Amino acid sequence: DMALSSILTEAEIAAGLQSCQADDSFDYKTFFVKVGLNSKSKDQVVEVFGILDQDRSGFIEEEELKLFLKNFSASARTLTDAETKAFLAAGDSDGDGKIGVDGKTALIK
């Protein structure tokens, strides 16, 4: 079972979650910088994608994005609808309403 803790340190995860505690304060760019994901290798990014893609569909759907922060900490909040939609729009390169692994890599880099 892959875990984000094998890629990110507790401090990195805490910093990311700290940056978006209030509703509608989540900004994926800030978050990825805080958790250090933008400095990870492409393989690690793909691994993170696999963890977020909970149903193993090869895509991250809106429902999975909503629970995005919970992958980092069980006690984290769910994203608001506005946050989820903004996040989805940023990574959905072909407009199919979900993020494929290419979109994910583009988001993080």
Q: List, as residue ranges, the binding site for Ca(2+).
A: 53, 55, 57, 59, 64, 92, 94, 96, 98
- Give the end-to-end CA distance of the chain in Å, rounded to a whole number: 25
Alpha-helix runs per DSSP H in 7-67:
10-18, 28-34, 42-52, 62-66
Residues annotated as binding site? 53, 55, 57, 59, 64, 92, 94, 96, 98
Q: Phi first, then psi: what are they for 94, rounded to 5°? A: -115, 10
Enumerate long-range contacts of 54-59, CB under 8 Å, 24 or more apart. Answer: 58/100, 58/101, 59/98, 59/99, 59/100
